[in-house]
């Protein structure tokens, strides 16, 4: 048996002992190791209001940098796309959304540039995003809960994608379907 096989068996044993269930998410260290081995799939929510504005969230982290992002979330093991869309909407904006059944875009993000904050450059370096066209319920009002404009998760409506949109979303600016926000 190889050292890798032995290590995997030990990891499985430790996960069982600690009650780790991938259907409920993974501990951060295990998640970050996992996403350095395989691409991950996430849903991105292009949330619009009745005025055609888009809702973006502020992000500042070691994986994607600092700037405005399209809210999104990684699909967990055995979780449906619908479940992840609604859980992400609840977590990031505080309510469920309606959305079109088919994604409006599928985008692949591969980060090849060096990220000085990361020891493992493969960590979260490859994902496939399913972008869904979403709508908030009538009467939706942003509740930033006292967050400042530069605090992670701060929400704001935009008529156009801002200049400081995260790099992983800038691919959309080249797509005709998104020109009205470019």
Dihedral, CA atoms, 178, 130, 38, 9, nearest 10 degrees? 160
CA angle in degrees (0–180, nearest 5) for 74-76-82: 80
- pLDDT at 75 (0 to 100): 96
Residue 171 has pLDDT above 90, yes or no: no
Name which of 82, 122, 105 is nearest 174 in CA terms: 105
**Distance between CA atoms of residues 59 and 38, nearest Å:** 23
Give the global pTM: 0.92
For the segment 105-119, the average pLDDT, to the nearest whole number, is 93
- pLDDT at 29 (0 to 100): 93
Reported as a pLDDT band with limits 50, 70 and 90, residue 173 is confident
Residue 69 has pLDDT above 80, yes or no: yes
Question: In this predicted model, what pLDDT tens digit does every residue of 116-164 receive, in sequence order?
Answer: 999 999 999 999 999 999 999 999 999 999 999 999 999 999 999 999 9
Name which of 56, 33, 41, 26 is nearest 122 in CA terms: 33
Question: In this predicted model, what pLDDT tens digit does every residue of 2-46 receive, in sequence order?
Answer: 999 999 999 999 999 999 999 998 999 999 999 999 999 999 999
Residue 174 has pLDDT above 90, yes or no: no
Name which of 13, 4, 25, 39 is nearest 129 in CA terms: 39
**Distance between CA atoms of residues 123 and 152, nearest Å:** 20
Residue 172 has pLDDT above 90, yes or no: no
């Amino acid at each position: 048996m190889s050292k890798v096989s032995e290590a995997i068996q030990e990891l499985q044993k430790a996960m069982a002992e600690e009650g780790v269930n991938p259907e409920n998410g993974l501990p951060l260290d295990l998640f970050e190791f996992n996403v350095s081995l395989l691409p991950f799939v996430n849903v991105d929510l292009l949330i619009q209001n009745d005025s055609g504005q888009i809702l973006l969230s502020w992000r500042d982290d070691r994986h994607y940098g600092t700037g405005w992002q399209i809210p999104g979330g990684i699909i967990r093991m055995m979780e449906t796309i619908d479940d992840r869309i609604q859980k992400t909407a609840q977590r990031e904006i505080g309510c469920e959304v309606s959305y079109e059944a088919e994604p409006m875009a599928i985008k692949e993000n591969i980060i090849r540039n060096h990220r000085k904050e990361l020891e493992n450059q493969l960590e979260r370096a490859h994902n496939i995003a399913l972008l869904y066209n979403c709508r908030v319920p009538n009467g939706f009002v942003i509740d930033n809960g006292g967050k400042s404009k530069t605090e992670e998760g701060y929400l704001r409506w935009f008529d156009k994608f801002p200049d400081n949109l995260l790099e992983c979303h800038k691919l959309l600016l080249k797509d005709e379907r998104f020109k009205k926000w470019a």
